[in-house]
Amino acid sequence: MDKFMESRWFMRIVGLTLALLLYTSVTFDETNLQKNASDNPTEDVNTIQNVPLEAFYDSKNLVVSGLPESVDLIVEGPKSIVQTEKASQNFTVFVDLNDLSIGKHRVKVKVNNISEKLEVKINPEYVNVSIQERVSDEFTVEPEFNEAILADGFEAEGVSVEPRTVKITGAKDVIDQIAFVKATLDIDSVINENITRKAKVQVLDRELNKLDVVIEPDVVDVTVSVVNPSKEVPVVIQQKGKLPDGLELESITVEPKLATIFGRDSVLEEIKEVAAELDLSKVKEDKSFELPIKLKDGLNKITPEVVDVKVNVKKLEDKPEEETVEKPEETPVEQTISEVPIELQGTDEEFEYSILEPEEGLIEILLTGYKEDIDPITRDDFTLIADLSGLPPGEHELDIEAAGPEKVDWELSQKTLKVEIKEKTSA
C-alpha cells in the first residue's frame, strides 16, 4: 500500500479525481446563477408612448408642416434605468431642420439627454416635412348662423362680427388656398331677441377643408339682430247663429277697429284682416261683448288680443192676424215700383262709402197680386237695408235685407249691393 501511494499513478488518479470534483462544483454554481438570473432579470424592454416631437428651425420666417405631434420610444437596458427614464422623461425627441432649405425633406428623428446604457429605437425613425416661407395676411371674417333657430315669426335684421378682420399666419402655399374665413354661431336655444355670442374662426379652402394656420384672434363676437315684423289690419266681426225670434239686428260696432299683427313679412302680406266671432243666438237685447281675435297661422302675436263689440237690436212688433176675407176670383196683376232706396247701416265716420251697384243705390221691386191690394202700395212701404258694420276699406258685396207688405208677392230686381269703402283723407 505504501508503495502504491508513493507511485506516480496514484498521484495522477488523485489529481484527476479532485479536478472532476472541482469542475462539477463550478458547473453547478453557474447553473444556479443562471436560474436565479432568469427568475430576477436585470434587463428590461419598454415602450414610452406619445413622446412630444420638437422641431428646431427658424420659426420667425419659416413654417414646417408634416410633423407628427408625438412619437414612441422603444428602450432596452437595465430595468432600473428604463423605469427611471420612463418616469422622469427628461430626454428630448427632436428633428433639426436648421440647415435645410425651403422644400420637402425626409429627416431622421433624434433623441437627446437619455442614458447611454439604454438602447433606443424611435418609431417612426424618419419623418417627411415641408418647409415653407412664413407669411401673414389679414382676412375679413364672414359671420353666419342657422336661421332655423329663429323663433316663429322673427326675422334676422342683420349679422355682424367683432373684430371684422383677423390675422392669419401660415405657409405661403397654404395661405394661397384660403377661400373662406367663417365664424359660425353655435347655439341650441331659439332666438327671439338680439344676441351676442363667442364663435370660433375657421379657415377653409374651396372644398371646405380646414387649413392648418395660426389665427389671431381665433375667437370673435357674433351679433344677431332680429325683428318681429308687424302691420295694422282691420278687425271684422264674423257672425254665426241667428237672433232669437222677435229680434232684428240694428248695428254692430267694434272697438278698436284696427289690430296690430306680428309675423314674418311673407305671412303679413297675405293677411288683409283679422276676425272676432260673434254668436247671435246669445244676443237677447242690446249688449256689449269682449271677444278674442282669432290668431291666424304664421302669426306669433296680435295686439289687442280682445276687442269690445257692441250689438244693438230691436224688437219686432207682433201684428194682429187679419181676418180672412174671401175675395171674388180675379186675375193677379204685376206692377213695378222703381227707385226704391237702399239704406246703409253700421257706417263709420272714419270712412267714405260709395255704392257701385245698383246705380245710385236704387232698385226696382216687382209686385204680384190682386189689383186692389197692389194699388195702395208705394216705395215707402218697403225697407231695404245693407249692414256695413265692421267692414274694412275695400270693395264688398252684401246681401240686401228687405221687408215689405205681406198681402202681395214681391221680388227685388237685385238682391245684393256692391259698395266701396275708403278712409277719409284729411284736407
222 and 280 in a single domain? The answer is no
**Distance separating alpha carbons of residues 411 and 336, to the nearest angstrom:** 10
CA torsion sign for 412, 413, 414, 420 is negative
Same domain for 217 and 273?
A: no
- For 374, residues 6+ apart whose C-beta sits below 8 A from its C-beta are 333, 335, 367, 408
Both 381 and 405 in one domain: the answer is: yes
Residue ending a domain, choose from 227, 245, 261: 227
Q: What is the CATH number of the domain that holds 245?
A: 2.170.120.40
* 14-48 tens-digit pLDDT: 778 888 887 776 555 545 544 444 444 567 888 88
Tens digit of pLDDT for each residue in 93-152?
A: 999 998 888 889 999 999 998 888 888 899 999 999 988 888 889 999 999 888 877 877
Q: Determine the straight-line distance between the first and last CA of the chain, rounded to whole angstroms.
A: 166
**How many angstroms separate the CA atoms of 122 and 71, rounded?**
7
Same domain, 272 and 340: no
Q: pLDDT (tens digit, 9 = 90+) per residue, 306-362? A: 999 898 888 876 555 555 455 455 677 888 888 888 888 888 878 888 888 888 888
Which residues, in sequence order, are bridge partners of residue 399?
416
DSSP string, 333-347: EEEEEEEEE-EEES-
The confidence score (pLDDT) of residue 329 equals 55
Q: What are the C-alpha distances in Å from 20 to residues 9, 17, 27, 28?
A: 17, 5, 11, 12
Considering the domain architecture, whether residues 236 and 165 belong to the same structural domain is answered as: no
Q: Can you read off the three cell numbers belonging to residue 167?
A: 390675422
Closest CA to 277 of 304, 254, 300: 254
List helix spans (H) across 235-314: 265-268
Joined grid coordinates for residue 250? 240694428
The answer as to whether 273 is a domain residue is: yes
Question: Of 88, 106, 133, which one is at a domain's C-terminal end?
Answer: 133
Number of domains in the chain: 4
- Report pTM: 0.45
CATH of the domain at 347: 2.170.120.30
> Which of 133, 161, 186 is the endpoint of a domain?
133
Domain housing 117: 43-133
Mean pLDDT score, 51-79: 88
Please tell me whether residues 403 and 359 are part of one structural domain.
yes
| Angstrom distance (rounded) from CA 116 to CA 76 | 11
